[in-house]
Structure 1
Amino acid sequence: MITFYSEERWNNWINQVKESKFKIDPNAEGLGREGIVFLDMEEDVILAICKITGKLQRGMISKEDAAANLQMMKEIVLQKVEPMDDDKDMMVESVQSALVGVFAAAEYFVEGDFNEKDNPEKLILEAAKAEEKEDLDKAFELVGKAGALVLSGKAFDSEKVLDKIPPSFVAEGVDGIDSIAAVLAGGIDYSDEADDEND
């Protein structure tokens, strides 16, 4: 089976975080130069996830292979990371939280468990309402299905929803879906030798 991501690849990112001089600066806009590693590590995982769903969509891998690869990746990426310092730990957890929604999106996509006529922005607003009512299972499902739509090629405009959502699980989910849209817009090379990791 072709694998799309490895423990070594994730550990390389964690080592880059350890070596960075990152500190949260409440006065700075964005994460600053040292914080770019967090955006890059998130994008690298999302790229691998988009390769899995894209190859499935193109009939290049089976549904079983796609599901097995996602499960393997999830175990690597969402495992607890050894503490470094408060700022770095918080950022790694934030990346992992955004990726929880991305993995859910990929799983719904692989299962075909979403309605192609739905609107991703509408689903996100419904998810925010569900989270407000503390129905986290519903919120998680709606974020996943919104992401599955974006993986299938639907456009997503986070600007339409972000100002209507407080900082929350759903807002982190939007961050992940936004990254899916950005990675897909950048174009992906689906040829086997691009950067899949052959076992």
Structure 2
Amino acid sequence: MVEEQIHQEFYTKKRWNNWINKVKEADLKLTNEESGELDDTGLLLVNMQDDVILACLKVIAKFERDAVSQREALHILSQIKDIVLEEIEPISEDIDMMFDSIQTSLMGALAACECYINGSYEKDANIEELFKAAVESEEQDDIDSVFRYVAEIGASVLAGAKLPESLLEDVQYGPVAELMDGIDSISAAMVGADSYKEDDGDYEPV
């Protein structure tokens, strides 16, 4: 249990449930089952994932400013993980597939944040080599190693490394691709507006 009192709510169950309800109301469907392409309202799912990513980046920002300790930061991330990785009741085959994909992507993002906060990565690591190792681990059905390599890639990105744009171009759909989607979301958020760095962590309902 964390000794220090944490006052901010970085992400809430209510917020996550609001996104789930919005997706239900939109009645999203896969327009191409093979490619996984979405119709126009698929942007809602992107925003749902990015909302969680932003919350994680707020935690990272506070940790970097020593506004929260390592222990606090990991505790907050654990709370976010409990919310967004909780099993979602079946809705429809298409929506269930979409939620499963989002949750897998968020697993990659959260693992990267934990890896960064713990310092469990090499600051001068070669992202391309880590990615290659992740793909090889997937081919060997070594999912634990896939998670480790993807987390290290994400931690490097959080530390300031650039994620090569061509990295995911030829990768086949699978654990690496889905987990790396979370890292790609982190990378995209970090090159966008950085107002999250000064945010107090409080949220209004979606």
Q: Which TM class, normalised by the smaller chain length?
A: over 0.9
User: Of 183, 186, 193, which residue of structure 1 is paired with 2:189?
Assistant: 183
Q: Distance in 1 between matches of 2:59 and 2:171?
A: 30
Q: Does the 8 Å contact 1:46/1:102 carry over to 2?
A: yes
Aligned residues: 196
1:3 shift after superposition: 2.5
Corresponding residue SS for 2:31: coil
**Structure 2: gaps of 5 or more residues:** 1-5
1:101-120 residue CA offsets vs partner (Å, 9 max, x unmatched): 11110110110110000022
Q: Distance in 2 between matches of 1:177 and 1:192?
A: 21
1:35-73 residue CA offsets vs partner (Å, 9 max, x unmatched): 111100000000111111122122221111100000000
Write the letter of the residue equivalent to 1:180: I
Identity, in percent, stands at 38
Which contiguous aligned blocks of 4+ residues in structure 1 show a shift greater than 3 angstroms?
27-30
1:163 aligns with 2:136: no
1:109-157 residue CA offsets vs partner (Å, 9 max, x unmatched): 1101100000223211110111111111111100001001111111102
User: Relative to structure 1, is the Cα distance of residues 58 and 120 closer, same or farther in structure 2, using a 3 angstrom cutoff?
Assistant: farther
1:57 aligns with 2:64: yes
Within 5 Å, give how 1:30-179 maps onto structure 2.
30-159=37-166, 161-179=167-185
Write the letter of the residue equivalent to 1:185: V
Q: Distance in 2 between matches of 1:176 and 1:29?
A: 16
1:16 aligns with 2:17: no
Structural RMSD (CA):
1.8
Q: Does the 8 Å contact 2:58/2:199 carry over to 1?
A: no
**Structure 1: gaps of 5 or more residues:** none
